[in-house]
Structure 1
């Protein structure tokens, strides 16, 4: 068991102010475990909607739920989207904080219905994989290789971790996507997800992937949206600036968990990873996901021009516009691309995140930051 104090604090805070809290995240990320750590409800207050017995108990949800005291936990709630209007009625009758904790495996309907039916009554949280703060700085390489799904990270060996992730991918494709309403053959979606892995960190080219799979462009976009809604793929949107330069307008795509990325690429151990052509892109995606989870950036973007200038992440913090550039290098250097980004986007600060051990000024408004320092510290330090 790995403690997750930051996620515990976020969930406790949400339950302390909102009648309904929706906690979403991909399968096996630890939602149910976190709920037990924070709430630990009695059996009568727990409903797992993948358990036929609990579905039977909710045959008349208004009658069953209205009589329960304390926090009620509803797990895998995407199986009963009709519950949200009922929760709204019950909450309007009794608006005490922390009345319902709703867990869901990243169904788009789960979040959509929660926002529509429970507006003003709900806090929506997303549970990421394990953070570097959770496992300790000395385990950064293991977290990068195995990813943040707890059972993958905690496996007794890299080989067993890889086998667990292979099983996860198979189950996700064969069962979980169907439960989320995605009606695509598992073999087709596996081919597509593997293609995404090879595109990891690159600009989205729907036409090229559509030709490879022999489907239409709208269909390939629908596949991408399905994996994005399931929180296993990130579409990082471009930042638009009012410039004369031609800017990239397609999103960049990433497999969000590096452990899943590595299995889709048939990478098992660190030696395989460091020798793979996608090692740099894998490191970039890993740092971006870890940083977004730790820093709580709400609306991240990247920026690029067709002439080659690019910055991996652009975001605002404390009235500053900040750029983040990721390098799989021990000694990063100042580049024309960074200078162009500072000038064109009027950036207040650029952080060049690298794999070395030291943090130091690189140029005016540019700091080279060790990945361990950035991810185990606070943005306030930079």
Structure 2
């Protein structure tokens, strides 16, 4: 028997209130965590995927460039959304991939200087190091130029050289620019629509500006990517290329939307940010209070009754409403006393042949014999003297107590 009782207690304790509360709290917190993470998932990505953008630490990426600029005191912004009017004075840097469609660049509205860095290398992930890549070969010049919108692509050529060479740069007026650096398979841009900004010693433009749109294009990404910054000369040249395009004191804005890191708007995100955050907290508090009220409620849930009751219940409710409307509740005290007298007389077996006065006297004797708190005659007088609903309730309570005192032992 003792073993069965222990088993029963163990079985009942498996779903104790404390256990259920803990399970409920953990479930709610887990669900809230999943919702928050899903709302902010684009911004939680590290971006170290070996791509050609500023979040990538690969040699073909541009992750080192914003770090270098910040260390020199240059304001840097990593843009994940739509540009505002405040960014028009900044230098916008676009790093499209070969898969980028020209329409995506056209959709970016920026009235300040814009630099487009053409993609160059075909790379594959390095299985031994996360975020690293292995360069396989270079994209063809046609593939690299296809990322440009139609207005920039017309009459534009990309000249490709073979082998590795030391490249010295200068301005079109012959002024020396940057430091000589080693470049693999140098690329330069040409065409009647382009104005050279930085050229090689042979006069081929590696950085040029479009005559109509005033957009800058860097023909060879190896002047600004992470591999270019591995040497002091490369770092100095990269900074000079940025400074020649950046207005004095303005930030450098690196776009991330072309690589799928844009900040998307959603209803869940709006609910978690001001000004709707307050509403979300209020709704959460209401849900907690509703759950607490359901947990501590006494008794079963009360069924909603009909607005207009049917049958005897409806007749009784309507009668009570009429009596309340007429303010004659206290007149019901005397009839109620007679009903209680008849019920008590029937239970205790009072003789049926007694008159009203004789029955009252009989009940008074029984009341004194049983030690009741009052006699029926006194209660009847109080019922006749009731003047307010409060008097009615008080004498009704005393009649109920008198009824219990005379009939409890006989039921």
TM-score, normalising length: structure 1: 0.21
